[in-house]
């Protein structure tokens, strides 16, 4: 449900291309990957990225080396390039890659390659999910291909063949249809009359819903809510009731870092029941169907890739109202609202 910003940064630097080109021509061209993480989460992310990169860079030989420097990411650019030159020279690598976790939601991908001194930066934004490392690997493969296209001086036969295969594979991956994101929501709800009701009309309950994101931003949701109430006391008795409401929702939510926010509209068919118990021992029972339309903003706070908190305040409109009468003197006890308000809070688990 978050979106992580994957920043792909490639710097093409001049170097001694002749020696490396001769070595690379003898076998598959080599791509060096430098491991710089010093924590368990970072090391796991690097390993997942390397596995995906080996698949994306079909035709290249991926070689992994350790930075052997404390806080490699804090070095100056010149110091980094010097270190890269030292650790990759024995491999005759045509490009060097490393990833750097800038923050919880931002990963920076570096590609340093032989070339003519050109430099370019590209920014890619993708949903935060279990496929983040694959997206990084595809971006790296495309950057390696672009480095080759911009640098004819390193156009050796084995590299040309490998780059052609990588570019075709990256394009095929890019054209794959996006997977539909699915989730399940458990929520609690409070609702009450806002206009047109007489007497207390407040109900409390909860429910379950399934949601789907067929395309980025578009929310489809279907669920069932159960509420208890209203509960009211009057001069000669008391009222109690409940409601069951299957509901469908449609919304569009924008994403910013760990937030999703936007408008949501919904419609429900509400089955309500109400009982009036009088002090003289008599009672009245009512049951009826009505339709309710709702609209309001929704906020989703992603805690990680699989869990999010959901907040949904809304205003509802009822298709018709009902009046309930006391048996004793036929006076009105309750009138259902024309407009009401509701507030829901829940937890979404993303499959």
Q: Which one-letter DSSP state was computed for residue 70?
A: T
Give CATH 2.40.160.20 domain extents, the chain: 181-350
In total, the chain counts a number of residues equal to: 351
Residue 162: the pLDDT is 56
Residue scoring higher pLDDT (228 or 37): 228
219/101 Cα distance (integer angstroms): 30
Q: 3-174: what CATH class?
A: alpha beta
pLDDT in tens, 278-301: 877 888 899 999 999 999 999 999
Closest by CA to 183, choosing from 330, 94, 305, is 305
Domain 181-350: give its CATH architecture: Beta Barrel (2.40)
pLDDT in tens, 38-95: 888 888 888 888 988 888 887 788 889 887 666 777 777 777 777 777 777 788 777 7
Backbone angles phi, psi at 165, to 5 degrees: -65, -40
pLDDT in tens, 247-256: 999 999 998 8
Listed range (69-83, 121-135, 188-202) with the worst mean pLDDT: 121-135
Cβ pair 308, 264 in contact under 8 A? no
Cβ pair 48, 64 in contact under 8 A? no
**Judging by DSSP bridges, how do beta strands 106-114 and 95-101 pair with one another?**
antiparallel
Q: Which one-letter DSSP state was computed for residue 130?
A: T
What average pLDDT does the segment 155-167 reach? Answer: 55
197/232 Cα distance (integer angstroms): 13
281/278 Cα distance (integer angstroms): 6
What average pLDDT does the segment 10-14 reach? Answer: 42
Q: Which two tokens stand for residue 100?
A: 């750097």
Tell me how far apart the terminal alpha carbons of the chain are, to the nearest angstrom: 10
Reported as a pLDDT band with limits 50, 70 and 90, residue 129 is: low
Residue 121: the pLDDT is 45
Give CATH 3.40.50 domain extents, the chain: 3-174
What average pLDDT does the segment 331-337 reach? Answer: 85
């Amino acid at each position: 449900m978050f979106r992580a910003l994957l920043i792909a940064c490639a710097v093409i630097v001049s170097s001694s291309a002749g020696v490396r080109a001769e070595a690379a021509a003898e076998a598959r061209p080599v791509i060096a990957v430098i491991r710089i993480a010093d924590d368990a989460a970072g090391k796991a992310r690097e390993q997942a990225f390397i596995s995906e990169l080996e698949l994306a860079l079909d035709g290249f030989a991926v070689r992994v080396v350790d930075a052997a420097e404390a806080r490699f990411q804090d070095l100056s650019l010149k110091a980094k390039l010097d270190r890269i030159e030292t650790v990759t020279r024995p491999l005759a690598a045509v490009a060097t890659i490393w990833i750097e976790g800038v923050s919880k939601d931002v990963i920076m991908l570096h590609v340093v390659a032989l070339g003519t001194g050109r430099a370019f930066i590209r920014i890619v934004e993708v949903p935060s999910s279990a496929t983040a490392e694959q997206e990084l690997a595809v971006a790296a493969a495309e950057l390696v291909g672009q480095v080759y296209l911009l640098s004819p001086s390193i156009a050796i036969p084995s590299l040309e063949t490998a780059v052609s295969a990588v570019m075709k594979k990256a394009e095929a991956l890019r054209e794959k249809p996006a997977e539909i994101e699915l989730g399940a929501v458990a929520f609690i709800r409070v609702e009450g009359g806002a206009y047109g009701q007489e007497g207390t009309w407040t109900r409390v309950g909860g429910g379950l819903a399934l949601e789907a994101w067929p395309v980025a931003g578009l929310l489809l949701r279907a669920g069932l809510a159960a509420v208890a109430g209203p509960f009211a006391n009057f001069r000669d008795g008391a009222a109690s009731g409940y409601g069951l409401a299957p509901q469908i929702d449609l919304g569009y939510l924008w994403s910013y870092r760990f937030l999703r926010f936007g408008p949501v509209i919904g419609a429900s068919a509400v089955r309500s029941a109400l009982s009036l118990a009088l002090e003289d021992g008599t009672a009245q029972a009512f049951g009826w169907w009505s339709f309710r339309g709702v609209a309001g903003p929704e906020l989703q706070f992603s805690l990680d890739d699989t869990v999010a908190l959901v907040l949904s305040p809304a205003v509802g409109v009822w298709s018709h109202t009902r009046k309930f009468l006391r048996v004793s003197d036929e006076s009105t006890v309750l009138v259902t609202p024309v407009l009401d308000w509701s507030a829901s809070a829940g937890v979404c688990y993303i499959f």
